[in-house]
Structure 1
Amino acid sequence: MRLISISNSYSFQSRQSRVLASVLVTIPILCFWALLLTYVANVPWIDDIDAFLSFIIGYIDAPTLSEKLDWLIRPNNEHRILIGKLITLTFYKLTGEVSYRWLVFAAFAFLLGLLGLFYRVFRSTNLPLLAFVPVSFLLLQPQYYLTSLWAITALQHQVVIMMAFTAIYLLASDTQSRFGVALAVQILTSLSMSNGLFAWVAGAVVLALQRQWIRLAVWLVVGAGTIVFYFHDFPDGQGNETSVSFFLKYPYLVFLGFFTFTGGLFDFFSKVDILWRSILPTLAGFAIILTMLVLLWRMNEPRLGHRMGTYESSNRATKALWKRRYFFTGCYTFLMVNAVIIAFLRPRFGYGVMLISNYMIYPAVLVSLIYLNVLSERQSEFTLNRWVGLGLLLSLFIWANWYVVQLPKIAFRKHQILTYAFNQKHNKTGLGPSWGSPFVALAERTMNETIRRGIYEYPETYYTPYESRLLSSNQLKPDTSLHIRVLGGGYSYIAETDYNALAQPIDNAAIVIQSPERTYLFPSEIPYSFTNYYLNRPVRTIQGEIINPTVAPGRYRVGILSPSDEKNPIRFSNQVVTVP
């Protein structure tokens, strides 16, 4: 294959173009960092409590080294999270605390590491930096905010993708010294999330393409041993066996789910019914998979069926090309195994899971890889210019779209999780566990113990100045001028004041429910609706969803917390709700 370099193209290599490209690559990094600084709250959510706070207590109290090691590698639900626990332990040793903000920031470092790895692969193409700009915009955008802003998912998906790709990159180098490092990295990756196990398959494919049979044998033996160790003491009751019956009943949903998932970057109509919402991502998934298959055939067809060394060369550019080809092939294998597993295991929870924010980092990584792969396999300067131009337009559109669409959701999530922290702090539930579940006792015990030891403390927020008044407000008489409508039942009630019922516009506010024993807060979403958020409309209505499973059974009167109303921030109506 003839590689055509455009390194002498003045339009690409002028000093102004290099400066512009550097600025464009940096913009998504700075914006993503600002997003984390602004919207990450130091509050655990569901699995965060057990995975990090329970772990650190158990580790500290473990009397022997073997027991401490057990706390590091013992499973949490479906995963072992060794890297996440090591990071937690490091921060505890340095500061004496566990901060969820710092855990998320640490996970962001792995995301930057993934971007750096992509740049290292890109740099071997000898293309100008401007061609790399789309990768930065595609990768660092907030579609997958439930991965990047949530500690447990950030320290799983972002960490494992970066480490798995690092192991594949080391294998692609085809050197004995790097094989040993790749093996060590992959063992660590495997113990940091179940998805990390898929890289054993990816690495085996790379080694088979390289005809490195001894290394392949070692890789498979160590991989098999690691997998057996990974699952040897897993808890029962994961529920994955029901996926088989679901597949037998709805095989077409699993088949289509694979393409919906892989095309999830193009989920542009998230507000419509899931049937219509999934059409564009599914079509995009078909196009993405077809493109990937063409690239895989183009890269590996010369190697298939020929003796080792037939297509190797001492030419430096050719060696770099084959290294990239091994890397792309291994990464595709890792992502495809992951996509198949998700498509098989998750549709039973509802087809919308195929487009849930937690998983959308994978489509973003896949599209980034395909773009880099196309640049690597370029045939002419015209083709390169066309792909770079298309990549710039598409990546900028996707990046801007997801910032516009997701920012109100991200802002509300921070308000929501801070509000729920009040309920956890004073009522045992709020940050995930349902009332009456076994997790309630674990969460209460863990939160109380870490606070007692000074390992964790709840952050101050909008309700902090009114916290004591909220807990002692049983003597407040109902305000007959305050009318609150309550609809629903079962899973939740929707409580809302009359339109323009408040004298002052609100920002952070909440619905309050209170019994003689307990007080709960539920966040108002009205200021974070798409139009209110961007048009900065004055909001004089409070609406909140009362999540019944998180509330102790009883009869509650309904009121509001409106900090913007300095005279009467806490008011109650005559309305009541009953939680069975």
Structure 2
Amino acid sequence: MSYSPHVPTRTADRLVIGLIALLVALFYAAIYRYAINVPVVDDLLYIDSIRRITTPGTSLSEIARVLVEQHNDHRILLSRLIVLADYWLEGQVNYRTLALAGSLSVVGLLWQLYRIFREAALALWLVLPVALLLFQPSYQEDVWGVLCLLQHTVTLFLTVIVFRLLARPEPSAQMGALALGGLVLYSNSNGLFMWMAAVVLLLLLQRWRWAIAWVVAGVVFIGLYFGIDYTFVSKNSLATAAEHPGWIVKSILSAAGGAAYFDGRKWLLLPVLLVVMVLGTGVLLVIVVSWLRALLQTKKVISGPMVPFLGIAFVLLCSTGASALTRSDGGLMVPDRYQIFCISYLIVIYGLLILQLPKRWIPAVGLLGIGFTGWLWLNAWLYYGPLLSERYNRLVAEGMALKHYHYSVMSQTFGLDQDWQRRWEMAMSRGIYQVPDLPEIWGVEVALKAPPVVDSTTRFATRTERLGFLNSDALFFQQDTLPTPRFLFLRSVGNWYLLPAQSSPRPILKPWLPARGAKSMVVPVMLKPGIYQLGWIRQTPTGWHSTVSTQTIAISDRPQTTRATH
């Protein structure tokens, strides 16, 4: 397939490769710059797993049990193995290394999809929409959050390989698919649906013996998955979902179209909820029609390139349905940590259309795909790009809390559990995790030890809000006229807590607006009792400088009595 009567194919290929290389370079430059060796929420759980595995005298059976033990409704064998390997190589668990290494699975995904397109004799430029979807930051929580990265993105990459091997007739490929499928099964609960899809696809490929092998192995592996030390954590959600079936439909549609969701903002002058729902409906329609064609066709066996797209579509749809049943609350099911699956929906339907539509339509679909994904890529960088430095500052603040108090004051309440706190401190004392020695941490510590400048006029708006995902109250601070500093802080006579200063308002699509205003949050139950002054820290060419206001908040041993004073 030629690109243009005026552009030679080889020249066009070079242009496409150059553009993809530029997308990849920008994506990984951001990861290299903003990844930091600080755990976020569930990332902390890896530390205790490594502590138990590496404790002298631990038996091999206990090590195996810890590696496959349940995490929420999942077993996460692969991610624990990767974290353990990093510990053996570096002598500590380094979340920056894990983010950099794990994110290579995104390039792996592009390579696998490129190979599929080439196997189908498609032109190289048709891979551009896939690259535009993969190398943008809308799913940043699946890149910088190590547990999400290793459990979602890496296993998605391996799942594509499983289906590619499944499409090949050689016994070695089929054995490889079966072995890798077992690893994926015990690394993400999506592996359960991968197993179901594999059996159906093998039947469609008329490979009866291998279908039987997958069924027999599935009975054993899945039986062990649920039969040994398994508790269904989300079972209470099923009763709620049964009372509100409309929530489930809304959640499935919103997940299928969630790639176009940018925090509720209007794009192309259209209400974002309408865009998400219409896109989700179109995505589901393509998947359902593609599977019906595969199931009802009578003339020939489905082609090899179709197998991975059909398989991933099946996994995504079943996983979305399961998540809607166990997590749906009637809202849009597009949390940041699942955005990689929303992106995957678009990649899948693009592949299904390219492989099934008449050849004369393929250039039009490719150009439409480039237009839509280019629009999404631009919006993602405009919206999420400015947030990368804020996320970096949040991790610096988390690192400061871990260094001084051994728990976070913003994202989780593990510190309230005395047993967990004891285990975490044991792990840190053994050096399993070490707070990174960052210039920002040195600068902030120096600034907070020096006498601060006093500002008697600046006032912060404060409010307390219940956060369901923390099962706790959070205290929010906001100041709308302050030129945005790097950090906010709370300071009492004996304690201080660093908080990231997030911009408010965010000058998205309006770069001419001054970046003024700052906001942050803290979980007051994690603060030691006392009277705290509110302040902020700026970085200037001459160093770090702190300013403290005369506004205070009181934290008692019962945090619900938190109050602001002057």
**Structure 1 partner of 2:351:** 372
Matches within 5 A, 1:55-94: 55-63=49-57, 64-94=59-89
Matches within 5 A, 1:120-139: 120-139=115-134
1-side partners of 2:156 and 2:480: how far apart? Answer: 48
**Residues 1:311 and 2:283 aligned together:** no
Q: Secondary structure of 1:222's partner?
A: helix
CA gap of 1:300–1:562, structure 2 versus 1, over 3 A, is same
CA gap of 1:555–1:129, structure 2 versus 1, over 3 A, is same
Q: Which has the higher contact order (CA 8 A, sep 6+)?
A: 1
Q: Which amino acid is 2:11 matched to?
A: Q
**Residues 1:351 and 2:334 aligned together:** no
Displacement of 1:479 = 2.8
Q: Secondary structure of 2:549's partner?
A: strand
**Structure 2 partner of 1:437:** 416
Q: Secondary structure of 1:364's partner?
A: helix
Displacement of 1:422 = 1.4
**Structure 1 partner of 2:323:** 342
**Structure 2 partner of 1:411:** 389
Displacement of 1:452 = 4.4
Q: Which moved more, 1:35-44 or 1:512-521?
A: 512-521
Q: Which moved more, 1:202-211 or 1:542-551?
A: 542-551
| TM-score when normalising by structure 2 | 0.88
**Residues 1:523 and 2:500 aligned together:** yes
1-side partners of 2:106 and 2:338: how far apart? Answer: 15
Residue in structure 1 matching 2:368, options 379, 387, 390: 390
2-side partners of 1:536 and 1:87: how far apart? Answer: 44
Displacement of 1:151 = 0.5
Contact 1:261 1:355 in 2 (8 A): yes
**Residues 1:260 and 2:237 aligned together:** no
CA gap of 1:124–1:74, structure 2 versus 1, over 3 A, is same
Q: Secondary structure of 1:336's partner?
A: helix
Contact 2:491 2:534 in 1 (8 A): yes
Contact 1:84 1:155 in 2 (8 A): yes
CA gap of 1:520–1:9, structure 2 versus 1, over 3 A, is closer
Q: Which amino acid is 1:183 matched to?
A: L
Q: Which runs of 5+ in 1 are unaligned?
A: 1-5, 304-309, 313-320
CA gap of 1:415–1:14, structure 2 versus 1, over 3 A, is same
Displacement of 1:204 = 1.1
Deviation string, structure 1 residues 97-125 (Cα, Å, up to 9, x no partner): 22111111222122221211111110012
Matches within 5 A, 1:9-158: 13-51=8-46, 53-63=47-57, 64-158=59-153
Q: Which amino acid is 1:75 matched to?
A: Q
2-side partners of 1:397 and 1:285: how far apart? Answer: 17
**Residues 1:493 and 2:470 aligned together:** no
Q: Which amino acid is 2:172 matched to?
A: S
2-side partners of 1:454 and 1:435: how far apart? Answer: 18
Q: Secondary structure of 1:483's partner?
A: coil
**Structure 2 partner of 1:187:** 182
1-side partners of 2:346 and 2:544: how far apart? Answer: 52
2-side partners of 1:296 and 1:243: how far apart? Answer: 29
1-side partners of 2:455 and 2:350: how far apart? Answer: 62
Residue in structure 1 matching 2:402, options 377, 402, 424: 424
2-side partners of 1:139 and 1:568: how far apart? Answer: 37
Displacement of 1:532 = 10
2-side partners of 1:261 and 1:227: how far apart? Answer: 26
CA gap of 1:268–1:567, structure 2 versus 1, over 3 A, is closer
Q: Which amino acid is 2:494 matched to?
A: E
Displacement of 1:477 = 8.4
CA gap of 1:196–1:457, structure 2 versus 1, over 3 A, is same
CA gap of 1:223–1:498, structure 2 versus 1, over 3 A, is closer
Contact 1:254 1:343 in 2 (8 A): yes
2-side partners of 1:283 and 1:558: how far apart? Answer: 45
2-side partners of 1:478 and 1:370: how far apart? Answer: 57
Deviation string, structure 1 residues 322-377 (Cα, Å, up to 9, x no partner): 112333322221111111112211113x614x111211111211211221222222
Deviation string, structure 1 residues 188-223 (Cα, Å, up to 9, x no partner): 111112222221111011112123333222212211
Q: Which moved more, 1:254-263 or 1:528-537?
A: 528-537
**Residues 1:462 and 2:440 aligned together:** yes
2-side partners of 1:8 and 1:458: how far apart? Answer: 50
Displacement of 1:285 = 0.7
Deviation string, structure 1 residues 228-254 (Cα, Å, up to 9, x no partner): 22233446472x122222112211011
CA gap of 1:498–1:357, structure 2 versus 1, over 3 A, is closer
1-side partners of 2:544 and 2:317: how far apart? Answer: 57
Deviation string, structure 1 residues 8-60 (Cα, Å, up to 9, x no partner): 97557532211111112223222211121122111001111112x22222222
Matches within 5 A, 1:186-335: 186-234=181-229, 236=231, 238=233, 240-268=234-262, 270-271=264-265, 277-303=272-298, 311=300, 322-335=303-316
Q: Secondary structure of 2:554's partner?
A: strand
Q: Which amino acid is 2:50 matched to?
A: I
Displacement of 1:62 = 4.6
**Residues 1:402 and 2:402 aligned together:** no
CA gap of 1:345–1:564, structure 2 versus 1, over 3 A, is same
CA gap of 1:498–1:85, structure 2 versus 1, over 3 A, is closer
2-side partners of 1:183 and 1:211: how far apart? Answer: 17
Q: Which runs of 5+ in 2 are unaligned?
A: 466-472, 560-566
**Residues 1:559 and 2:535 aligned together:** yes
1-side partners of 2:480 and 2:282: how far apart? Answer: 49
2-side partners of 1:380 and 1:154: how far apart? Answer: 36
**Structure 2 partner of 1:450:** 428
2-side partners of 1:280 and 1:489: how far apart? Answer: 33
Q: Which amino acid is 1:265 matched to?
A: A
Q: Which amino acid is 2:403 matched to?
A: K
2-side partners of 1:264 and 1:125: how far apart? Answer: 29
Contact 2:106 2:157 in 1 (8 A): yes
Displacement of 1:7 = 5.8
1-side partners of 2:509 and 2:273: how far apart? Answer: 27
2-side partners of 1:346 and 1:574: how far apart? Answer: 43
Q: Secondary structure of 1:517's partner?
A: coil
Q: Which amino acid is 2:336 matched to?
A: S
**Residues 1:508 and 2:483 aligned together:** no
Contact 2:93 2:432 in 1 (8 A): no
2-side partners of 1:435 and 1:206: how far apart? Answer: 44
**Structure 1 partner of 2:552:** 576
Q: Secondary structure of 2:498's partner?
A: strand
Contact 2:478 2:519 in 1 (8 A): yes
What's the Cα RMSD here?
Answer: 2.9
**Structure 2 partner of 1:315:** none
2-side partners of 1:235 and 1:447: how far apart? Answer: 28
Contact 1:451 1:457 in 2 (8 A): no
CA gap of 1:234–1:459, structure 2 versus 1, over 3 A, is farther
**Structure 1 partner of 2:524:** 548
1-side partners of 2:344 and 2:432: how far apart? Answer: 39
Contact 2:50 2:432 in 1 (8 A): no
CA gap of 1:124–1:568, structure 2 versus 1, over 3 A, is closer
Q: Which amino acid is 2:278 matched to?
A: L
Displacement of 1:556 = 2.1
2-side partners of 1:24 and 1:568: how far apart? Answer: 40
Contact 1:262 1:288 in 2 (8 A): yes
CA gap of 1:454–1:370, structure 2 versus 1, over 3 A, is closer
